[in-house]
C-alpha cells in the first residue's frame, strides 16, 4: 500500500505535466492525455484495466465517474491512492475524464460459475425477499447497463472488484453509498461472491 501511495504522488506530478502540455481549451485532448499518461497505469488507457483489483471504467456512466472522483477528493470515499490523484483534478478535468471513459467500449468477460439458474442470477434478478434484499436489476437494469445519472453500469465488471466493494459497503469502510451499505450488510459472503461473479458475465 505504501508503494501505491508513493506511486499516486508520482501520478499527480505526471498529471500536472500532462495538463500543461495539452492544448489550451481542448478538454477532450486533455482528458485523453491524462487517461493515457496517468489513469492507464491502473485502469488501462481505454478504461479496460488489466488487473481484476482495479475497476473497468470503459462504458461507465459519466455522472457516476464524476461522483466517485469528487468523493475521493472530498474524502467521503476513502482511498489513499485515489485521494491525491482526484485532488489534482478540477471539476472540468473530472468531467473530461468521465466523458472519455464513458465513450470507450468495455471488453467482455465471463462468469466463472454463476450463469443461468445460478444463485448469482437469482439474487441479481430477484433479490432475496426473506432478507429484504432488492433485485440488483431494479437499479442497475437487467443487462447491468445501469440507469444514467442515478446508478452505475455493472455489466462485465471484474468479480474481484465488485466483491471487494460489496465487502467494503458491508463493513462500512466504503461509506459513500447508504443504499448499498444496507443491501450489502444483508448478504452472506457466499451470496456476495455469487452475485459478483454473475455481474462479471453480464452483457
User: What pLDDT is stored for residue 20 in this prediction?
Assistant: 46
One domain, residues 22 and 97: yes
Residues 84 and 128 in one domain: no
Q: Say whether both 78 and 40 belong to one domain.
A: yes
Which range marks the domain in which residue 187 is found? 119-200
CATH code where residue 124 lies = 1.10.760.10
137 plus 60 within the same structural domain: no
pLDDT in tens, 42-100: 999 999 999 999 999 999 999 999 999 999 999 999 999 999 999 999 999 999 999 99
CA-to-CA distance for 47 and 60, rounded, in angstroms? 9
Predicted TM-score of the model (pTM) = 0.88
Residue 108: Cβ within 10 Å count: 11
User: Among 47, 73, 102, where does a domain finish?
Assistant: 102
The verdict on 130 and 80 lying in the same domain is no
Query: Does residue 157 lie within any of the structural domains?
Result: yes
Name residue, grid cell 472530498: 74
When comparing pLDDT for 21 and 141, which is higher? 141
Find the length of the chain.
203
How high is the pLDDT of residue 19? 47
- Say if residue 9 is in the same domain as residue 74: yes
Looking at the fold, whether 52 and 126 belong to one and the same domain comes out as no
Query: Is pLDDT at 16 greater than 50 in this prediction?
Result: no
Last residue of one domain, picked from the residues 49, 67, 102 = 102
Q: List, as one string, the DSSP characters of 138-197.
A: HHH-TTS---TTTS---TT--HHHHHHHHHHHHHTS--S-HHHHHHHTTS-HHHHHHHHH
Q: Give Cβ neighbours of residue 172 (< 8 Å, ≥ 6 apart).
A: 181
Per residue in 140-188, pLDDT tens? 999 999 998 889 999 999 999 999 999 999 999 999 999 999 999 999 9
C-alpha cell at 17: 505535466
Band of pLDDT at residue 27, cut at 50, 70 and 90: confident
pLDDT of residue 3: 44
How much is the pLDDT for 12? 47
Higher pLDDT, 11 or 180: 180
pLDDT score recorded for residue 1: 53
113, part of any domain? no
- Provide mean pLDDT across the span 15-38: 73
94 vs 108: CA distance, rounded Å:
25
CA 148, 132, 170, 200 dihedral sign is: negative
Domain count along the chain: 2
Q: Is 115 left (phi over 0), alpha (psi -120 to 50) or beta?
A: beta
Name the band, by pLDDT with cuts 50, 70 and 90, for residue 25.
Answer: low
Q: What would the pLDDT profile of 53-67 be if each residue is shown by its tens digit?
A: 999 999 999 999 999
Do 179 and 127 have their domain in common?
yes
Label residue 5 by pLDDT band (50, 70, 90).
very low
Question: Of 77, 102, 127, which residue is a domain's last?
Answer: 102
Amino acid at each position: 500500500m505504501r508503494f501505491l501511495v508513493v506511486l499516486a504522488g508520482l501520478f499527480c506530478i505526471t498529471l500536472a505535466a500532462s495538463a500543461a502540455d495539452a492544448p489550451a481549451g481542448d478538454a477532450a485532448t486533455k482528458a485523453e492525455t491524462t487517461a493515457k499518461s496517468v489513469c492507464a497505469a491502473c485502469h488501462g488507457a481505454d478504461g479496460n484495466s488489466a488487473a481484476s483489483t482495479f475497476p473497468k471504467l470503459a462504458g461507465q456512466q459519466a455522472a457516476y465517474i464524476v461522483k466517485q472522483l469528487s468523493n475521493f477528493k472530498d474524502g467521503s470515499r476513502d482511498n489513499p491512492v485515489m485521494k491525491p490523484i482526484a485532488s489534482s483534478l478540477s471539476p472540468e478535468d473530472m468531467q473530461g475524464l468521465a466523458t472519455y471513459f464513458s465513450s470507450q467500449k468495455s471488453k467482455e468477460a465471463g462468469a466463472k460459475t454463476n450463469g443461468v439458474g445460478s444463485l448469482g442470477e437469482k439474487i441479481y434478478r430477484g433479490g432475496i425477499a426473506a432478507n429484504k434484499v432488492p433485485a440488483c436489476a431494479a437499479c442497475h437494469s437487467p443487462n447491468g447497463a445501469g440507469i444514467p445519472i442515478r446508478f452505475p453500469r455493472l455489466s462485465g465488471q471484474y468479480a474481484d472488484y465488485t466483491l471487494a466493494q460489496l465487502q467494503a459497503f458491508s463493513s462500512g469502510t466504503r461509506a459513500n453509498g447508504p443504499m448499498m451499505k444496507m443491501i450489502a450488510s444483508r448478504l452472506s459472503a457466499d451470496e456476495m461472491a455469487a452475485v459478483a461473479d454473475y455481474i462479471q458475465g453480464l452483457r
